[in-house]
Chain A
Amino acid sequence: MGDYVLLAISCILVNNILLAQYLGCCPFLGTSKKMETAIGMGMAVIFVLVMAGAITWLLEAYLLKPFGLEYLRTIAFIIVIASLVQFVEMFLRKSIPALYKGLGIFLPLITTNCAVMGVCLININEEYTFVQSLVTSFSYATGFGLALVLFAGVRERVLLARVPKPLQDTSIGLVVAGMLALAFFAFKGMA
């Protein structure tokens, strides 16, 4: 049990998917302008990532490995993720239309969110067991959500500040992300 807690902490804070492993930057910059969309995006990623982590692990263990089809991994994983995203999209459109509108273009873009695909590949590369994969998927996604919400909070304040013209928008966003990454960097000392 203790192992799982350690694994979770390491995935959420020390190896934060966004700020230490650079995965999922596009939605990070795109959906972090407002707190609401940031929370929505975080939730969507947690949901999709846990399911994708479980399904891709099973796929690898029971289909790709026994038949020696590892070279098809990329294509198999992306198809699983794409169909999952489609499912989440339909679900949100039916049940929470306001959130669906807020997320706009970024919901289909979860398909091309490297964080989802990246975590699935990390799980396979590190040879985690099924339960470990579930724990890492959930914690990586939580770490993503955490960073996204923190960043959205900072960014809402930056909107009120007077930023030099060439630095505006994405540019200042990246610099702020760098500062946030510096804060998370300190967790490396814990490991």
Chain B
Amino acid sequence: MAKSITQEFVKGLWDEIPPFRLVLGLCPTLAVTKSVENGLGMGVAVIFVLVCSNMLVSLLRNIIPSKVRIACFIVIIATFVIVVELLMQAYTYPLFLKLGIFIPLIVVNCIVLGRAEAFAYKNGIVRSIVDGFGIGTGFTISLVALGALREVFGSGTFLEIPVFGPSFQPFTFMVEAPGAFVCLGLMLCMMNIAGNK
């Protein structure tokens, strides 16, 4: 049964929200969520790449031979990643420096390749764009949520505005690597509790 366009969008926000339901794309999730701002920037970059690559893959799906499809997908994705990289370098330079090597690494983000393979290669162009946008938005929400949690407790700020007052002792564990893993694990646990009800 074919889903409606709205359903394709909404599924990315809860049913298949990355990286919780689809355990893909963990590396950028862990690495860039030290603050809300980083998470948001990364999320928007991923939405752009995901929508564009889904669109192009869907357009070319009858031309790309199935044996070399992965290579074709990667070249398409890499092209859009370069576009994002150059755009960010031009317009949001401080953010570009903060995200560092994680911008070129969008190319190896399993979510983007996963959607190209699992969805865009089999569906029409409108559906693919909507799917890319939905999954991308879900990813951004997750990044912002995790970023907020870690920034508030780890540095005592939200979007670099102090929230707890001067007497707050930052819980540095949260912004370091071990905190990232534990935090994501516990959020996944919350999702499971919420989902089972």
Contacts and interface: CB of A to CB of B under 8 A. Distances in A.
Nearest to B24: A26
Contacts of B85: 71, 74
Contact of B181 (A21, A116, A166, A175): A175
A25 B86 CA distance: 26
B60 interface: no
Contacts of B105: 23, 114, 117-118, 121
A108 interface: yes
Contacts, number: 130
Contacts of A22: 27, 30-31, 177, 180
Nearest to A119: B101
Contacts of A25: 26-27, 30
A82 B71 contact: yes
A179 interface: yes
A184 to B, nearest CB: 8
B193 A172 contact: no
Interface in A102-122: 108-109, 111-114, 116-118, 121-122
A11 to B, nearest CB: 15
Q: How large is the interface on A (under 10, 10 to 19, 20 to 34, 35 or more residues)?
A: 35 or more
B161 to A, nearest CB: 26
A173 interface: yes
A118 B101 contact: yes
A179 to B, nearest CB: 7
7 closest A-B pairs by beta carbon, nearest first, are: A174-B185, A178-B181, A178-B182, A166-B192, A25-B26, A175-B185, A181-B178
Interface of A: 19-26, 29, 71-75, 78-79, 82, 108-109, 111-114, 116-118, 121-122, 125, 165-168, 170-175, 177-179, 181-182, 185
